[in-house]
Every structure is written in structure tokens, then in C-alpha cells.
Structure 1
């Protein structure tokens, strides 16, 4: 048996000593949390979908891992034992200062299941974390969150000498995308846009459209994700 084959057999034998959990034991009652001012508190419900008790740990962190942004929130309880098939309400508390008043701010809410110690030493246990968006929406922002997606500006540009698409968000709200597609005749060009922050723009290269000149695409079709986590269909024109 050659060295490479022997190593593969040994590795496969090692994996056979462990059993991996098939799914997470917790679920959340939403895909995002929105705290709207002047309120300083909101909540999220965590459900234990298993019959066995579990421990959960919860925390809030900046949206960007490279950011030194302060997190002016507290979450309670941060650590909780949850009985089988039980539920727990997490309270999210805002300290009332430290965030812009003219636009939304976004953070991550993480809820992690802490594995119970197994009686079987050959069981590999993995901590499963669920992470959802937490938005703070100050009172009195101009415009309407439900109308903001339809007011996005779409423009054909050249990006690194190739056809590209610029998306501009002049609203005070974050806009999350499902699918984004350029329709040009019978051709369809997907755009990997995920979210656009308030008063910002992003540009994307149009993959597979090397011969498409600025102004050549006529329509944009996209899904925005609303506060309930539901995709909403939109279409619009693209300017050159």
C-alpha cells in the first residue's frame, strides 16, 4: 500500500470514530430584528426544538469584523439553560445614545447552542451558531422603508474596462437583496448584490457580458427583503 493511500485509509478510520450532530437544536422566530426609536427595547424568541435541555449563549457584535464600532446594546439573558421543547425571550436593550440619528445602523445578533457534555467520548460535539441582522432605526427618518427599494438608482458603468452596474441608495435605510438580475433582450445577467447601506453605492462587474456596452441593458429585476424577512419583487430601468 503506497503512502498516500495509507494516509487516506487512516483518515477515514479516524472519522468513523466520531458522530456529527445532524442539525441545530435551536431556532429563532425571525430572520432579523428591527428596533425603532424612540423605543429602547425589543425582543427575539429562541426555541429549543429538541427534547433534551440545552445551553444557549447570546451576544451582539459590529456588522464588520474589521470595525472598531461600539456596540451600545445589552442582551439579557446572555446565558440560559433551556429545557426540552421550551422557549426563551431575549431582551435587547439600547442605551439610548451613540448611534447616528439620520440613518439606520446595523449589527449582528448571534445565538449559539453550547453542546452538553456527552457520555460517549467518541462523539464530536460542535457549537452551532445562528446569526441574524439587528437594525436600529431612529425615529423621524425621511422616507418609507417599504418604498426605499423602488427608489434605488441603477446605472451602467465601466468597471476595470468591462461592463458594470452601479447601484445607489439615497435613502436612510439598509436595503437587503434576494436576487438581482439584469434583463437585456433574452439574456439574463445575475448580480451578486447582498445589501446596500444608507447613502451609499456599490458597483459590480457584469459577468458574461463582455460585449454589453453601457446603455445596452434596459431592465433590472430584483428582490428586496422586508422587515418580516419576505422577498418583495421589483423591476426598474437602468440609466447609462
Structure 2
């Protein structure tokens, strides 16, 4: 038997051994959770679209801004059984203190699927996890969240021989991106986008743009709103 046939036979036998692989079956309602301070709680819907009963485990993790702080949120139920085609409402509560009142704060909600123990000996079970951003929004913040992405200030800087894109966010809200593109010298350059915190600035790498290039440029970016929709924005700058 030659090497190619032997490899294909081994691959076929491996696939037979793990024929009982468990597939992810949970669907989470939404792409983010917005928690206005005026509400007593926020909620998140989780539905089991798989064929088997599962357990779901949920918890809240700190964002980069709160890495060294206690998490002032609780989620319930933290552990729940979910049958086929059934859904569970996860309720999120804030303890009422510990976060800035002049800007949004961001955390992560994690929902992990724990498959039931399989009756088959030759099965591979995988625990799938989904993570969503949780934005806590204090009362009385100036401006509107849907306007924050359009008020960003942009500039292209030279840093260690490379061109980087600087975005400044003067608003009290986070700005999340689906994509950012720089058009300079009739060429399009892709940017590695990162979420910008309120009243902060963020440097982003521009792939392929020579540091020697200058003049006029157009910035095109897609922001993500509270409902997960993509909103396109454009502006022109000189650098």
C-alpha cells in the first residue's frame, strides 16, 4: 500500500471513531447586551436548537477597563438544563455601585454549552462557548450612542517607520467596528479595527500602507449599533 492510500485509510478510520461528535445547538438572542441604568435588569434569551438536551453555564467576565476590579454584576441562572427547542431567559443584575457614571462600561457575557454524557464509547464531545459584550449605560450621558461613531476624529501617524491610524472618541459611548478601510493614492488598505472606549484614543495597524505615503486619504468605517446592525461612515483627511 502506498503512502497516499495509507493516509486516506487512517483518516477514514479516525472519522468512524468520532462519528458521535456533538454539534453546537445553542442560539443566543442578539449580538450584544445593553444595560441602561434606568432598568432594574437586562436579559438575554438562549435557545437550544440541537437535537439533545444540554446544560448551559453562564457567567460575566471583566472587560479590559475593569481587569483589576470586582465584577459588580450577577447573572441567573448561572447553570440551567435546556431541552430541545426550549429557551431560557438569563437575567443580569447590577449591584448599583462601582462603575463610572460619566461614561459607558463594558463587560463580557459568556454562555457555554455543556453536552450530556454520550452513551457511545467512541464519541467526541465539545463544549461550545459564545461571548457577547455587555454595555452598562449610566443615566444622563451627553449625546446619543448612535451618533458616537460619526463624531470620531481620525489621523494617520508614523510610528517606528510604519503608518498607523489613530481614532479619537470624545463621546461617552463605546464605538465597535465591523471594518475600517483607508484609501490613499488610489489604493485601498485594510485596517485591523479595535473597539474604542469612551473619551479615549486607539491606534490601529494599516496593512501595507508605506510610511512614506502622504497627502489626501479617505477613511471608510462600519460601526455596529445597539441592535447589531452595520452603519457605514466616510470622511476625508490630510496626513
Per the normalisation by structure 2, the TM-score is 0.90
Q: 1:230 aligns to what?
A: 229
How far 1:125 moved relative to its partner? 0.5
Structure 1, residues 137-191: CA drift from partner, whole Å, max 9, x if none?
Answer: 1011111111111100001211112222111111111100011001124310111
The 5-angstrom pairing of residues 61-100 of structure 1 reads: 61-64=61-64, 67-100=67-100
Paired residue secondary structure (2:149)? helix
How far 1:227 moved relative to its partner? 0.3
Range with greater deviation from structure 2 (131-140 or 35-44): 35-44
The 5-angstrom pairing of residues 1-240 of structure 1 reads: 16-19=16-19, 21=21, 23-64=23-64, 67-210=67-210, 212-214=212-214, 216-240=215-239
Change (3 A) 1:178 1:122: same
In structure 2, distance between residues paired with 1:160 and 1:9 = 52
Range with greater deviation from structure 2 (53-62 or 9-18): 9-18
Structure 1, residues 10-58: CA drift from partner, whole Å, max 9, x if none?
Answer: 7885565223646411001100000011223010000110232211111
Range with greater deviation from structure 2 (184-193 or 77-86): 184-193
Range with greater deviation from structure 2 (139-148 or 46-55): 46-55
Paired residue secondary structure (1:196)? coil
Does the Cα contact within 8 Å between 1:56 and 1:80 map onto a contact in 2? yes
Paired residue secondary structure (1:57)? strand
In the TM superposition, structure 1's runs of 4+ consecutive aligned residues that sit over 4 Å from their partners are 6-16
Per the normalisation by structure 1, the TM-score is 0.90
In structure 2, distance between residues paired with 1:170 and 1:56 = 39
* Aligned-CA RMSD value: 2.6
Change (3 A) 1:20 1:189: farther
Q: Provide structure 2 residue ranges, at least 5 long, that are not aligned to the other structure.
A: none
In structure 1, distance between residues paired with 2:125 and 2:70 = 32
Does the Cα contact within 8 Å between 1:182 and 1:217 map onto a contact in 2? no
In structure 1, distance between residues paired with 2:188 and 2:22 = 37
Paired residue secondary structure (1:147)? helix
Range with greater deviation from structure 2 (229-238 or 157-166): 157-166
Change (3 A) 1:195 1:238: same
In structure 1, distance between residues paired with 2:193 and 2:97 = 31
